[in-house]
Every structure is written in C-alpha cells, then in structure tokens.
Structure 1
Amino acid sequence: MKFSLGPNLFFWPKTDVEQFYQQAKHSSADIIYLGETVCSKRRELRAKDWLGLGRELARDTNKQIVISTMTLLESPAEIVTLKKLCDNGDLLVEANDLSAVQIMHDLNMPFVAGPAINCYNVSTLKVLLKQGMMRWLMPVELSGDWLKTMLTQAVDENIRDKFECEVFSWGYLPLAYSARCFTARSEDRPKDDCKYCCINYPQGRKMNSREGEQVFVLNGIQTMSAYQYNLINEVAQLNDMGVDIIRISADSEQAFTQLDKFKAQLLTPKTYSLETDKECNGFWHQIAGMSVA
C-alpha cells in the first residue's frame, strides 16, 4: 500500500505554497498531487508555475508527481489552460472533470480519475478504463461496504488488475461545487469583484447552522465538510480490501504528521479516539457524514 499527499484545495500565497512543497519533498508521501482544482482566479501560481514546481519535485525526489486539474470549468480560457496541463509531456495528470478525461484520451495518455468524477459502478469504471484511466479515486461520499462490493465486482469482471484504487482518507471533504463563490458572498462581494478574498482563509471559512453547529467550510466555489474526515482506524480494512493508495489531503502542515501516523498503522495498528467536534468518518460507515462511528 502507498500513501499520497492530495492537492492543496485552499488558496495560499505563493511563498506558502512553495514552502509547503519543500516540506513535501522530505515527507513520507509516495505520491504528491499538486495544482489548482477549485478556481481559475487563484493566480498566485499559474499553470506554468505548477508544472515547473511539479518537474522540480520529480527531479529532486523519487516520488510520483501528479498534476491535478480544475473540477468546474466555466470559460474557453480555462479549457486552454487545461489542455496545457494535460499535454505537459512529463507528469501524470489527475482528471477532475470529463473534459480532462477526453483530452487525455485524445492524447493517448494514462490518467488518474479524481474524486469529482461521478463513478459509482463497474460499468462506469469500464468506460473510464477505455478512455485510459490507470488509477481511480473513489467519490468521497461513498461507504466502505460500497467500495468492497465495487472492487469484488471488478474482480468478477476481470478488470481489477487494470487500475489502482485510491481512497481519500484524511482532510476536509470536497463535497460540492457551484458557479457562485460562497466565500465572496459571505463578504457581500460579487464573484466578479471578489478581491481574491479566499486567500484570507487558509483553511476556508467555517459556516454554522442557526443552532450554532459547524456544518460546512466555504472554500470559494467549493463547499467542504466542517470536520476533517479521518479513516485512520480503517487502514487495516482498506489494506485487506485491496486498496492501493491512501490519500491525505494537503490541508495544512498537519498533513505530514498524518502521513506518518497512517503509515504506522500498517506496522503497529492502534485505535484512535476521534474528536467528534473536529473529525468525522460517517460516510465510510453509512451514517450521517458528520458523525463518528
């Protein structure tokens, strides 16, 4: 089993991003994803900067480096940027929408199917495999039982050996995307004049219910879980199911500590008590997503 550091979903200053990936070089991650997946207005790093950073990491480490693409494309200019990322000539690409899947297919290049690709059954897996998928990340809202069934069906269909399976296992869950910018709206700004305000919230902006309960994290056009998803107690189960890669989200420098803790579970398993006001694992156990089983 391998461990990956997912793309940073938040908007950080360029110097903070570069500093983070300098630390990532020396982390225990086997795979590093990087790139802007949420909003094209986040231009602290542009496409050429992400590709340059990815090539630097590939040159300086023995880790696999993957460029992640945008999830919601809204203009022709964003398609042009997407094509540059896909046709980069060096790095594996995580496709986060079907336009990226089509471009990678046209280039005859393998790709990772990201968590925003709605793949819920073996028939869809077969379609993605024909397009060139070599790794599949399960949609974050699905359960462990669902994944076990899906992988068993893949074995029965003789396709399980044709792709790697990756599971998002720690971090704020990316739940939904909208053409509207929720962070800008929370500051009474129109999206076209957002002033890039989400850079002021390095871990998003927390949103509470009227009863004061944390419900979501607002991250530009992305809505995330209020609590950090944590499957650390399920590492042995994931391994037994044949999951190839566990993903730790690049939420903060805490991700590096989590990588080490998750890896240690393979050697010396330990049961952790999750903090119910900060962490959750409900989706995995087919209960309310905000809950802890």
Structure 2
Amino acid sequence: MTGKPRIALGPCLYFWPRAETEAFYARVADAPVDIVYLGETVCPKRREMRLSDWLALGRELAGAGKEVVLSSLTLLEARSEIGALRRLCDNGEFRVEANDVAAVQLLREMGVPFVGGAFLNIYNAATLRLYRREGMQRWLAPLECDRDTLAALLTEAGDDAPETEVFAHGRLPLAWSARCFTARYHNLPKDQCGLRCLDYPEGIPVHTREGEHLFTINGIQTQSGRVCNLLPQWRDLQRCGADVLRVSPRPQGTQALLAALDRTMRGDDDALAAVNEAEVETCNGYWHGDAGMAALRD
C-alpha cells in the first residue's frame, strides 16, 4: 500500500439534540476527514434527525469535499423499520453502510454497491469474497479482529478483498439488545422511555465494585468503558491492510483529534501526544490479540 490511510468519521452512536448535531457536522465540514458516515445506527426512536435531514447534511458535507455514507440500523425489530431501511437504501444519492443482512439483501436487489459494517460478522476470506460479489466495496473489520488475523484474511482474499476500514478510536460498540438499558436504568418501559438518551451525550458509565469503568450504556447498545485508541499504531494498521481509519464521534474533542491524526500522518510525530495524554482510560487489546480492555504497548 502506498500513501497514508484515509480518515473516516463513523456514524454518531449517541443521541444528541438536533441543533447540537447540526453544529457538530458544520465543524466536521472544515475538518481534515475524507469520509463521513451519517445516520442512526442504534435506536429507531431517536428521531431528532429524519432521513431528509441526514440527506441535507450529506449534501453540505459532499459540497465540502467529503465522501458521504448513510449508515443503517444494526438491530431491526419491527416491520416499520424495514420500510425505513428500504427508503435509506433507495436514497439515490449516497452510498449506504449495511449494518444488518437485511440491508445487504435490499442493496443487492437494487444493484447498489455498499459498505459492509463490522456487525456483518466477516471473519474469513470466503465470507469476504461472498459479500464482495453481493456488491460490497468497502468493509469495516470486526472490532475484535486482531492484526495477525486481519493481515492473514486479506492476504488469502488477495485481489478479491475490498477496501478495508478499521475502527481506530472511540468507545467500542459491543452488543445490542431488544431491551433498552437506559430506560431500565430509570425504571421506565422501553416504549415510554421519554428519550432519556438525550440526557447522556456519551452514554451512562457502568463501574465494577472496584470502581473500574467496565461498560457504557447507550440505549439498547452496550459499549466499552474504555476508549479504544489505535491511532498511535496507525502505521501498523496500514501494514496489516487498513486503507481507512475510523474515528467514532464524541461530544468533545473530535475535531481536534481528527486534526491531530492528520498532522501525525503527515509527519508530525508529536501531534497526537497531547490528545492521547488527555484520555485517561484507553484500550487496544483486541488489536494485539489480548483482552479487549487491555492497554498494551508495542
């Protein structure tokens, strides 16, 4: 691989008010990021932004020179969500990130190329080739995929391998459930949650009895407590086949992080230092073939 990896900003995993969301992406338009993913991937009740709003944001970002991708829900639970998914896949303007096999099926039927999300569970070259034949042009490797496994998989896939993206920074989205943990935290029924996720712009921390930040509750999604940070190993990610590095949006510091990553990949080895020092709870264990919450040095 020649050159440096491209930088992607993943879909926002949290529920922010509409005005804050629009202000966030207005700043992203001026950030050194190549690809921007938009849309709701966690809960269909989060309707501050409709498809038409995401499309409008996408047009603005595309006008600023960004590649725009619309991300689909990861867990579908109702027939109405299939209808919304169909409209997303048939948007006619932007590529779609398929986070569920239902999205893959719809996009294949429409003959539309797509990005494969990490939760399609692609763990071997045969599966990678299958999705490539279905129209997948880029894929996000599973979050627990270690560097040796990724390198071996891409070597086996050879020329059949699509463009490869790696989740490089942010709280790891680990699991989804039909139960809403944020609603349960407030002793509320899921269908009468009052959209309490709006009160937690970066989720609810869950600590062990010893005080360790183990998980983060984000509606029906469970995230890691620690922030995954593979950015200092960006050269290692590139050597193992990463064409794109994904940064997951957070309420504070995302634009500064993107700028520091861009400067680092342009040769400023100190650019990420201050950003990394400000992050007290980080992990990179999965990439090194260890426990996910481990923080290891090369």
Distance in 1, Cα, partners of 2:74 & 2:191? 19
Gaps of 5+ in 2: none
* Cross-structure match for 2:156: 153
Distance in 2, Cα, partners of 1:69 & 1:244? 22
Give secondary structure in 2 for the equivalent of 1:65.
strand
Aligned runs of 1:143-182 on 2, under 5 Å?
A: 143-155=146-158, 158-160=159-161, 163-182=162-181
* Cross-structure match for 1:67: 70
Distance in 2, Cα, partners of 1:211 & 1:269? 36
Give secondary structure in 2 for the equivalent of 1:9.
coil
1:268 aligns with 2:268: yes
* Cross-structure match for 1:133: 136
Distance in 2, Cα, partners of 1:238 & 1:142? 12
Which TM-score applies when normalising by structure 1?
0.94
Gaps of 5+ in 1: none
* Cross-structure match for 1:16: 20
* Cross-structure match for 1:89: 92
1:41 alignment partner AA: K
2:268 alignment partner AA: T
1:226 aligns with 2:225: yes
* Cross-structure match for 1:245: 244
1:268 alignment partner AA: D
1:145 alignment partner AA: D
Distance in 1, Cα, partners of 2:154 & 2:254? 27
- Decide whether the 8 Å contact of 2:129 with 2:157 is kept in 1: no
1:20 alignment partner AA: F
* Cross-structure match for 2:288: 285
1:99 alignment partner AA: A
* Cross-structure match for 2:118: 115
State the 1:210 CA deviation.
2.3
Distance in 2, Cα, partners of 1:68 & 1:13? 19
String of CA shifts for 1:130-153, please: whole Å, max 9, x gaps.
110000100111111111111111
Distance in 2, Cα, partners of 1:114 & 1:16? 26
State the 1:276 CA deviation.
8.3
- Decide whether the 8 Å contact of 2:101 with 2:120 is kept in 1: yes
2:44 maps to which of 40, 44, 47: 40
State the 1:275 CA deviation.
7.4
* Cross-structure match for 1:191: 190
Give secondary structure in 2 for the equivalent of 1:176.
strand
Which TM-score applies when normalising by structure 2?
0.93
Query: Cα RMSD over matched residues?
Result: 1.5
* Cross-structure match for 1:106: 109
1:176 alignment partner AA: A
State the 1:56 CA deviation.
2.6
Q: Number of residue pairs matched?
A: 288
String of CA shifts for 1:146-177, please: whole Å, max 9, x gaps.
1111111122xx313xx110000000110000
Distance in 1, Cα, partners of 2:99 & 2:218? 17
Give secondary structure in 1 for the equivalent of 2:118.
coil
Identity of aligned pairs, percent? 45
Distance in 2, Cα, partners of 1:115 & 1:256? 24
State the 1:127 CA deviation.
1.2
State the 1:254 CA deviation.
1.3
